[in-house]
Amino acid sequence: MNAEIWAIGGGKGGTGKSFLASGLAMYLAGIGKKVTLIDADLGGANLHTILKMEKPAATLSDFFERKVSLESISQETEIPNLRLVTGDIHTLSPDTIKYGQRVKLYRHIKSMTDDYVVIDLGAGSNLNTLDTFLLADKMITITVPEITSIDNMYHFLKKALFRKLNVFLADHNLKDAAKNTWRTRDENDIRTIKHLVDHFKTISPEVCNMLDNEFSRLNIYVVVNQVRHTPHSHIGSSIKSVIMKYFGVPAYYAGSISYDNSLWKYMDRGEAFFGMTSTAAIMEEIGNIAWNLMENKQVKLSDISSEVLL
């Protein structure tokens, strides 16, 4: 049986993608799951420092350039059941990876036999990042409760879903129709991705059924980081509703992570591993998120405490 793939994205840096990816991987490994954590933040890979490791000798550079297997460049961590694959900090950038290399990487990821593969995506929304996000069984987007961060998350998701739609239309010889429809979107009153998808469903019953199938299999999970008080926790439910209404895809609120000043002091000192493992409340919240992801569940408003988070 192949691994279930979780990818953490969001478009903007500083929202906690690496923190969440490493936390989820650590939690899953801690409950006995076999996990490979992939640092796909090419050119800015830092998960090895969060996991208190030296820079790995073998990286994705070796996978692409020396044609070795993904398993052979994965490194054991101090945590049983958890291995790490990292991007090369100095020689790789998203722009240098060719389409064929990307396809090869995805093929290897899909063939992995761990219980879970957790992928930490870099900032931005280049094609490598979008396609890796869309590869996942569970697409996890993380934001902090600030309007600019939430907007960036929406833009990232919009680009990812446009990418999904464009690939689908190209595969079915409808690429020109997509360009023409977008050019005349005002005439057709197309204002959202959902409107665009609904428009293409009118082409034929066959296209309609295939589009429904493609988009119904997308699973987007929302995580809100650095929550300071209850209204911030409620943001996740609002984001989920907006995604479903305007993007027309299944969305779930996986949970939130409280702001903890002591943890960020550890992060600033380069002691993230110690901070994460010694902050029980944070790891409990990450554990709740992990269970929601594993069980296809989500946070309900009635589950959110009315107390102010300190």
Band of pLDDT at residue 44, cut at 50, 70 and 90: low
pLDDT digits (tens, 9 = 90+) for 216-243: 888 899 999 988 877 677 899 999 999 9
More confident residue, 7 or 182: 7
Amino acid at 76: E
308 assigned to some structural domain: no
Residues 175 and 169: beta-carbon distance below 8 Å: yes
Sign of torsion over alpha carbons 282, 284, 290, 295: negative
User: For position 268, which CATH number holds?
Assistant: 3.40.50.300
Q: What is the pLDDT of residue 302?
A: 55
Q: Residue 283: its pLDDT value, please?
A: 82
Q: Contact, 29 vs 22, CB < 8 A? A: no
Q: Is the pLDDT of residue 296 over 80?
A: yes
85 versus 94: which is more confidently predicted?
85
**Residue 91, pLDDT above cutoff 80:** no
**Top-ranked range on mean pLDDT: pick from 101-105, 176-180, 276-280:** 101-105
Residue 34 located in a structural domain: yes
Determine, yes or no, domain membership for 213. Answer: no
pLDDT at 309: 36
* Residue 178 counted as domain residue: no
Residue 131 lies in a domain: yes
- CA 26 to centroid of chain Cα atoms: 16
Contacts of 190 (CB under 8 A, 6+ apart): 181, 182, 196, 199
In DSSP notation, 4-71 reads EEEEEE-SSTTSSHHHHHHHHHHHHHHTT--EEEEEE-TTS--HHHHTT-PPPSS-HHHHHHS---TG
Q: Is residue 65 part of a domain?
A: yes
pTM: 0.89
Please give the Cα distance from 112 to 156 (Å, whole number): 27
pLDDT 10s digits, 187-221: 878 888 888 888 888 877 788 888 888 888 888 99
User: Has residue 171 been placed in a domain?
Assistant: no
CA distance 224 to 304: 13
Structure confidence at residue 289 (pLDDT): 96
Return all residues near 301 (Cβ < 8 A) that are at least 6 apart: 234, 237
In a domain, 195, yes or no: no
Mean pLDDT of 8-22: 86
Which residue range forms the structural domain that includes residue 90? 4-147+218-300
d(CA 212, CA 152): 26
What's the domain count of the chain?
1
